Structure 1
């Protein structure tokens, strides 16, 4: 039989708020421990000869809070396991034991496993004082966040938000950066120190940018952001985007958006994708941000159409994507390893094949060419098909074979043109040449789509130069000779080499 552990909440800091029952348990305990002595009630209790062993030394010895909490829980469990049978060990924590107390969470998980009886006695939490001193009702919408885990995705401006564990200015700086993802720099926030503690309470209303420029942070500090219905504060949120698209497609929304179908905006999806690619090629982050938004809008619209039919929502799209990413990266989220990109890709392909088996598809019975989208641009599609065929062993052993095939196809195209074969036959021969060129690109490790895009950009750049030079002479390509234009073309090439 082991000792018993009782966890007692010391309240928000005012000794008058400590219940008589909690005081009796503290006075009658065989052993008393406190997470930290940096709390007003602890000092008052010690004046009444209720002494404690504190774990403040653990904070000094460990590098981070999780390690601190693990060590405190381990020490208490060990003392409970080897302490005198039936003895009550009281562990006192600031506030309420069930509010923002990581050590209590660990003890609740591990005491039953160790066969140690555990009792928890509540206390006034800092939330009680916050509701009174800051003057808001949590039923209006309320979030309690940890200062060490603040990000824009966790903040909803429509809810009253309290951020606890703001121990020092460094932590306040991290909180400020997280809040600035949602709120403007000068947004008014409230900092509270020792709420409800006579002679120590401070409530300061400051602009957000000053959050880490004020003093007084400690164990009894918090940050409060009042709830706001200002929609401008939600302009970065995915939920707001979903709302906007839903409104656009609603009966009272935009007539044009309401009329669209999957088929009517199908081409938009392709066009927006290529506009994103253009910003990537131009290394233009500002324009890329805009075009990625346009592409995201297409995804939102297609998802909204299905939501209206009751088949799925955009959140189902996100869920399936998240599940896929987690499943196909076992070297990140599972037990497998990947030393390099090739190993990671092999893991991806293996998990992808396993997904197919779960759906009743047998990858080994599928064509080696399966999985290439039907509507890809022809150049890109040829490249992907050839890669799959090569992976299955259908490939030239040496690049000489590629050159021979290319020369053969060019000769056949020439012959088809010379013989004045019908246009369809000539087109097929031209396709064979292009297919062979793609094979050469794959063999040398070049992306044919990118290679051709670069050549197109080069052609466009040089042609614009020709037009500018002609324009300077009061001419246009239409009223200039080929030799004149060719001279300027060569001039453009020379300038590129400089």
Structure 2
């Protein structure tokens, strides 16, 4: 006895669209199983006295659809092995949005079960017909139960299937709102092609989960669009716009720029982002992050024009780096805290260099600190790297003594009217020692100085305000009076 499963598609529910071959198979089946009894074709089977067993009870005994489909496939393979030839009927076409058939295709060969699949009318046939679009224009079919916004492509007709209930429609709405405006018109289709049951409703996106009537034969259609209100939310559109700006038909200023000419812009935009972070201003941060992203896009576009790399290569490299350097997230290593995670990062970073033919043991412990970092930040990173190999002070008291020593040497250089270069060198030594102190009190010196800068600005503006109130200018005051307002400002911090 040969173990075999024949899968047939019941179509969308219109009996006139059922193929003759499928109908003959249903009539001659020794043992017929259907995934669900909730399908218009079941009435026709009953009218013709065709017995069947449905898996609807399996839906009720499992909490998730993947578990349901797994259980159905497991039972079918076992029953085929026991009783030989069985027929399994599914809604629509067996190869369109039918998870149980996918599982059967994976499992039957290993179980020694022969699998045959007979087509049926897919819900897509009625979708193209009833909604009136040709899939060759650009089309994607997505699953309502697994719909990350990253899959959405507004330039394509998008059909979302398996919208079984209002809760699923609500999840779909939230994903769509990541890309589409809240009032974007979407089309909901129920029982397409089924006489007396078909309903097509057009609603703004925000009302998608307010509709009633979702069920096994419901789907959502979003027509393709070139609208800026939609496409401007996609990364592909940003890449396209930057390419146009740099093209012969684009902006004369953008065309003339080089890596060197806009180098300073990258630095300036970075500091403007930092300012919004310090100000805790999300709206300004959104805008400034966009300006910073533009700099990355422009530099990437310049290289794309020469054929070296594109921004997608940049993204690919970043993704690979993040995956590789987080083995405690994407691999088999563990990290119970931030320090362990950082050690994993450093180990994988060293492994990356080995794979590139660079021996980490032959590199300086100070390598990896960017050459053009601001000096204060660079001093902090250099000291941290030196500390990792044991070149560091033992305690804060020793560091503070070093600060006092360097301050004394600076005073001596100034008092002795030594050359400017010597005085500047001693000042640098003092600043370097202060950075060491910052490390020991667990403070980033750049952030600490930025905090003091902001504090100075607030206090100085208080002086200016007090002078304005009194109708005076800086020429009409003296240091003693300004010091008075400065001390008052300190009490307001």
* TM-score, length-scaled by structure 2: 0.98
* Counterpart-to-counterpart distance in 2, 1:102 and 1:330: 31
Q: Which of 140, 143, 156 is residue 143 of structure 1 equivalent to?
A: 140
**Paired position in structure 2 for 1:490:** 487
Is 1:95 paired with 2:92?
yes
Q: Hey, what's the Cα distance between the residues in 2 that align with 1:230 and 1:33? A: 47
Q: Distance in 2 between the 1:262 and 1:50 partners? A: 74
SS at match of 2:233: coil
Superposed CA offset, 1:281-333 (max 9, x none): 11000000000000000000000000000100001101111111111111111
Give how far 1:466 is off. 0.5
Q: CA deviation at 1:365?
A: 1.4
Task: State how far apart, in whole Å, the 2-side matches of 1:66 and 1:335 are.
Answer: 25
Per-residue CA deviation, residues 150-177 of structure 1 (Å, 9 max, x unaligned), is 3432222222111110111111111222
- The answer to whether the Cα contact below 8 Å between 1:95 and 1:126 also exists between their aligned partners in 2 is yes
Q: Is the 8 A contact 1:166 1:221 kept in 2?
A: yes
Check whether the contact 1:477–1:485 (CA below 8 A) recurs between aligned residues.
no
Q: CA deviation at 1:229?
A: 2.4
Aligned residue among 371, 393, 412 for 1:396:
393
What's the counterpart of residue 47 of structure 2?
Answer: 47
User: Within the alignment, does 1:208 sit opposite 2:205 as a pair?
Assistant: yes
Q: Tell me which of 351, 355, 363 is aligned to 2:352.
A: 355
Q: Are positions 1:324 and 2:313 aligned together?
A: no
Of 433-442 and 47-56, deviating more is 47-56
Q: What residue number does 2:195 align with?
A: 198
How far off its partner does 1:485 sit? 0.2
Whether 1:69 aligns to 2:35 is: no
Question: Alignment partner of 1:12: what SS?
Answer: coil
Match of 1:473 in 2: 470
Mapping of residues 197-346 of structure 1, within 5 Å: 197-346=194-343
Give the secondary structure class of the aligned counterpart of 1:212: helix
Shift of 1:80: 2.5
Residues 225-274 of structure 1: per-residue CA shift (max 9 Å, x gap): 12222233201100100111011111111111111100010011011001
- Are the equivalent residues in 2 in contact too, given 1:153–1:237 (CA < 8 A)? no
RMSD of Structure 2 on Structure 1 (CA): 1.2
Query: How far apart are residue 2 of structure 1 and its match?
Result: 5.2
Equivalent residue, structure 1, for 2:20:
20
Distance, in Å, in 2 between the alignment partners of 1:316 and 1:48 is 60
Whether contact under 8 Å (2:328, 2:334) holds in the other structure is yes
Equivalent residue of 1:8, what SS?
Answer: strand
Q: 1:444: which partner in 2?
A: 441
- Give structure 2 stretches of 5+ with no counterpart: none
Structure 1, unmatched stretches of 5+, are: none
Shift of 1:71: 1.3
1:425 paired residue among 397, 414, 422: 422
**Superposition deviation, residue 27 in structure 1:** 2.2
Point out the more displaced range, 377-386 or 338-347.
Answer: 338-347
Q: Which secondary structure does the structure 2 equivalent of 1:379 belong to?
A: helix
Q: Given the alignment, which residue of 142, 155, 170 partners 2:152?
A: 155
Q: Is the 8 A contact 2:181 2:229 kept in 1?
A: no
| Counterpart residue number, 1:5 | 5
Given the alignment of the two structures, is residue 414 of structure 1 paired with residue 411 of structure 2, yes or no?
Answer: yes
Q: Distance in 2 between matches of 1:410 and 1:225?
A: 70
Task: Give deviations 1:363-391, integer Å, cap 9, x for gaps.
Answer: 11111111100000000000000001001
Distance 1:2 1:484 in 2: 104
Aligned to 2:184: 187
Distance 2:467 2:449 in 1: 27
Q: CA deviation at 1:18?
A: 1.4
Residues of 2 paired with 1:96 and 1:339: CA distance? Answer: 48
How big is each residue's C-alpha offset from its partner over 1:394-413, in whole Å with a ceiling of 9 and x where there is no partner?
Answer: 01112221112111111111
CA distance in 1, matches of 2:433, 2:492: 33
Q: Contact 1:193–1:220 at 8 Å: present in 2 too?
A: yes
What secondary structure, in the 3-state scheme, does the structure 1 residue paired with 2:214 have? coil
